[in-house]
Structure 1
Amino acid sequence: MTLLAFGINHNTAPLAIRERVAFAPDSLEAALAAARDRAGLREVAILSTCNRTEIYAASETEVEALLAWLLEHTKMDADALSRCYYCFHNDEAVGHMMKVAGGLDSLVLGEPQILGQMKSAYAVASQAGTVGAELHAAFQQVFGVAKRVRSETAIGENPVSVAYAAVTLAQQIFSDLKEDTALLIGAGDTIQLVARHLKEQGIKELIVANRTLDRAQALSTELGAEAILLADIPEYLHQADIVISSTASQLPLLGKGAVESALKKRKHKPMFMLDIAVPRDIEEEVGSLDDVYLYTVDDLHAVIDQNKKSREAAADKAREIIAEGVALYSKAQRVQDASVTIRAYRQQAEALAGAELEKVQRSLEAGGDPRELMAQLARSLTNKLLHPPSVALRKASAEGRTELVTSARELFGLVESDNAIDEKSERE
């Protein structure tokens, strides 16, 4: 069984590719079942965020089967995907998962949201019945290491996230947010963080638009914002100096025409628009309007790079923790491999003991001498247990495979200390 970590991310693929490979939350369970059945995977979990889509799997098939299913599922061009995907195996796979969960592979070094997203991916896959012993063990090791990274390093201090970077970028356009109105589209974790950062920076007004009003109202009540439905956006858009969007919609929510209408009502007062969603919520053509500053999640790189430097020292310590975690995972896997052999040997020994015991019981019932039969049982069982390893050791010795003979002495507890061997040699 091979552990795989297959995917694309912000370092390997542009937004245009990432949005094609993104999985909507309400389609994940169906995708998991399809990946398992069509790609021949034993176990599978999918992590899909604005910056990455990764598939974690336990499989006896080659990665080509997974790649073929993904191409079929996304209807993508094979060459386009082949240029930007990566695939790690076994220890390297779990090491990559640890880097992701610890925030070392994020657009924002050390950002905390990814661990929650990874836990959610594991929970969804567990609910869908596509997580078994292999992925369960890997995820538990990953979560344990991520917790150590958070608690034992300073990588999570001075919070820096996509949400933080979004507000920083807005401040570069509008230096004083105290006179501005922000329209936030969506009510997920990222938008919630954006809203809190804007409040901390003194934003004048907040409007939260969401597909369901209840979710928008919950956030609005907490932050003193106004809640509206997505359908109401055209009526409120002209009020917004800042528009930040992050939804799971598979189609754009804001088009060029709607923004042009809003700009006319604003008398062409500039608007800052940031589309964090993957796939995008705002049509690309909106960026061609003279009075709109439209950015996507990929444009946050410059802002984020400034904040990476303060976390590099903590990242070095985090990498050490991850190396330790990979070593522990690898050791646990080796122990698991040995457990299979131990279990098989125990079953064989118990079967031999059972067969010999039945013979003795029949002889006892026929009036045999108990002492003699007990001695016979001990001899017979000992001979049958020792026969296979004795034959193998004689053959190994005859073939000059002395390392097997040495290992057998250790395995059976026959290794003598160096002093004992030296004393024996002197006597001889």
Structure 2
Amino acid sequence: MTIVALGINHKTASVDLRERVAFSPEQLDRALQQLTMQDEFAESVIVSTCNRTEIYCSLESGTPEQVLQWLAQFHQLDSKELAENVYSFDHSQAIYHLMKVACGLDSLVLGEPQILGQIKQAYASAKKNGGVGVLFERLFQKTFSVAKQVRTETNIGASAVSVAYAAVNLAKHIYGKLDNTRVLLIGAGETIELVARHIHQHSPQSMTVANRTIDRARNLADEFAAGVISLAQLPEQLPQADIVISSTASTLPIIGKGVIEQALKKRKNKPMLLIDIAVPRDIESQVAELDNAYLYSVDDLQAIVSENMATREQAAKEAEQIITARVSEFDNWLKSLDSVGLIRDYRNDVTQTKEQLLERAMAQLASGKEPEKIMVELANKLTNRLMHAPTKAIKDAAEKGEVGQLAQMQKMLGINQE
């Protein structure tokens, strides 16, 4: 049996191809059911996210090429085009890849934790559809354990490595808890959406989204139960904000020194944190000259991100060492499965030999032969039969000068030679 991993990700394929290869929730159940009905695919799990689609299979008689052909056929794609953009691994490399992905070491953002939850969901879907047996149950439980160990024993997820996340971490570092803070987000693009997701997890007292287009701001705000204002309403809203995070596409600053100065007066000089992650700037740099106004630019955050990325890269090296050790453990378990079959076959052979000789001895006793002679003959024949194969193997190894194999046989047979 062979374990295979085949897939595409953000490194190997365009967004267009990744979208065509991705599995919708409705497609996923149908795909898993198809795989379980094919004899060559013993067990199967499909991981499908915005950045990757991967199929993990244990193959009875199939090949990675058959997995590729099935994937192309399911999505009605040209198999040649798909082949140019996929990667595949087998045996230990496939196990290593799965564990590496689960730990976030193969993600667009190094160490991101979301992928582990996505793999757990993929495993649950496969199990529901009959795609998980003894082998993959063990493999995926081992993978989840490894991911937890990496999170616990390394700093892979301890530091912010996106500007949006760094902005929220900075606010948390300054204010401690954010549950008593009022947050004003300016803009409604992808970066502000990421900021909103991160900051929402800290349950701020209130959150307001300001944008040039009210409808777009409302689409974002509704997801987080936030308020909505237009950019024209900023002067009256700023005095209420403890934290201001801005990221718009404006070519000129939309917040000047004067408006912040007025806001601070209305706040009775209560400190205000302003984080400008727009390029070009949304907030005039002169704002930093004001007492109680703490302004950080995208350059400040990028320096934090760069430093944190170096920390994560070091943690990734530590994580790879943990993964390598766990892959070795799983390989040993796989080998023990082979030994289970070997032991079973060996026991069957020995039992068959015993029963043949015992049947002959019982017939001799029934015919009136001396019991003592029959017992001696039974013992001798049983000994010779059981010794025949090991003796032949020892002679063959000795004739070929295979010292290592002789030493292994000595250990296997329990022979203690001083």
CA distance in 2, matches of 1:155, 1:76: 37
Structure 1 counterpart SS, 2:184: helix
CA distance in 1, matches of 2:148, 2:373: 62
Would the aligned equivalents of 2:161 and 2:305 in 1 still touch at CA under 8 Å? no
Structure 2 residue 23 is matched with structure 1 residue 23: yes
| Alignment deviations for residues 156-212 of structure 1 (CA, whole Å, 9 cap, x no partner) | 2246689948989xxxxxxx951669799xxxxx99955725854952269xxxxxx
CA distance in 1, matches of 2:373, 2:31: 67
- For residue 240 of structure 1, the aligned residue among 202, 207, 218 is 218
Task: Rate the CA distance shift 1:34–1:195 in 2: closer, same or farther, 3 A.
Answer: farther
Question: Residue 203 of structure 1 aligns with which residue?
Answer: 207
Structure 2 counterpart SS, 1:43: strand
Question: Residue 187 of structure 1 aligns with which residue?
Answer: none
Task: Rate the CA distance shift 1:82–1:358 in 2: closer, same or farther, 3 A.
Answer: same
Task: Rate the CA distance shift 1:83–1:121 in 2: closer, same or farther, 3 A.
Answer: same
CA distance in 1, matches of 2:221, 2:11: 26
| Alignment deviations for residues 123-170 of structure 1 (CA, whole Å, 9 cap, x no partner) | 2112211222332232232222112111111222246689948989xx
| Alignment deviations for residues 219-238 of structure 1 (CA, whole Å, 9 cap, x no partner) | xxxxxxxxxxxxxxxxx935
Q: Give the drift of 1:312.
A: 1.8
Structure 2: 5+ residue runs without aligned partners? 170-181, 224-229, 235-245, 250-301
Q: Give the drift of 1:10.
A: 1.5
Task: Rate the CA distance shift 1:55–1:241 in 2: closer, same or farther, 3 A.
Answer: closer
Map 1:20-169 to 2 at 5 A: 20-37=20-37, 40-59=40-59, 60-158=61-159, 164=165
Amino acid at match of 2:324: A
CA distance in 2, matches of 1:83, 1:57: 20
Aligned-pair identity in percent equals 37
Structure 2 counterpart SS, 1:3: strand
- For residue 184 of structure 2, the aligned residue among 178, 197, 217 is 178
Q: Give the drift of 1:99.
A: 0.6
Would the aligned equivalents of 2:160 and 2:166 in 1 still touch at CA under 8 Å? no
CA distance in 2, matches of 1:58, 1:409: 35
Question: Residue 216 of structure 1 aligns with which residue?
Answer: none
Task: Rate the CA distance shift 1:240–1:329 in 2: closer, same or farther, 3 A.
Answer: same
Q: Normalising by structure 1, what TM-score?
A: 0.65
Would the aligned equivalents of 2:9 and 2:51 in 1 still touch at CA under 8 Å? yes
Which structure has the larger Rg over C-alpha atoms? 2
| Alignment deviations for residues 391-416 of structure 1 (CA, whole Å, 9 cap, x no partner) | 34334444555554443223212252
Would the aligned equivalents of 1:103 and 1:114 in 2 still touch at CA under 8 Å? yes
Map 1:180-329 to 2 at 5 A: 193=197, 196-197=200-201, 200=204, 203-204=207-208, 237=215, 239-240=217-218, 242=220, 306=306, 308-329=309-330
Question: Residue 7 of structure 1 aligns with which residue?
Answer: 7
Structure 2 counterpart SS, 1:129: coil
Task: Rate the CA distance shift 1:28–1:11 in 2: closer, same or farther, 3 A.
Answer: same
Task: Rate the CA distance shift 1:341–1:48 in 2: closer, same or farther, 3 A.
Answer: same
Amino acid at match of 2:184: K
CA distance in 1, matches of 2:207, 2:123: 36
Bigger relative contact order, structure 1 or 2, given CA contacts below 8 A and separation 6+? 1
Aligned length: 328
| Alignment deviations for residues 240-271 of structure 1 (CA, whole Å, 9 cap, x no partner) | 374899xxxxxxxxxxxxxxxxxxx999x999
Q: Give the drift of 1:7.
A: 0.7
Q: Normalising by structure 2, what TM-score?
A: 0.67
Structure 1 counterpart SS, 2:88: strand
Structure 2 residue 347 is matched with structure 1 residue 346: yes
Task: Rate the CA distance shift 1:80–1:164 in 2: closer, same or farther, 3 A.
Answer: farther
Structure 1: 5+ residue runs without aligned partners? 169-175, 185-189, 207-235, 246-264, 274-301, 418-428
Task: Rate the CA distance shift 1:166–1:178 in 2: closer, same or farther, 3 A.
Answer: closer
Would the aligned equivalents of 2:209 and 2:217 in 1 still touch at CA under 8 Å? no
Map 1:368-379 to 2 at 5 A: 368-379=369-380
Would the aligned equivalents of 2:354 and 2:382 in 1 still touch at CA under 8 Å? yes
Amino acid at match of 1:351: Q
RMSD, aligned α-carbons: 3.9
Would the aligned equivalents of 2:10 and 2:52 in 1 still touch at CA under 8 Å? yes
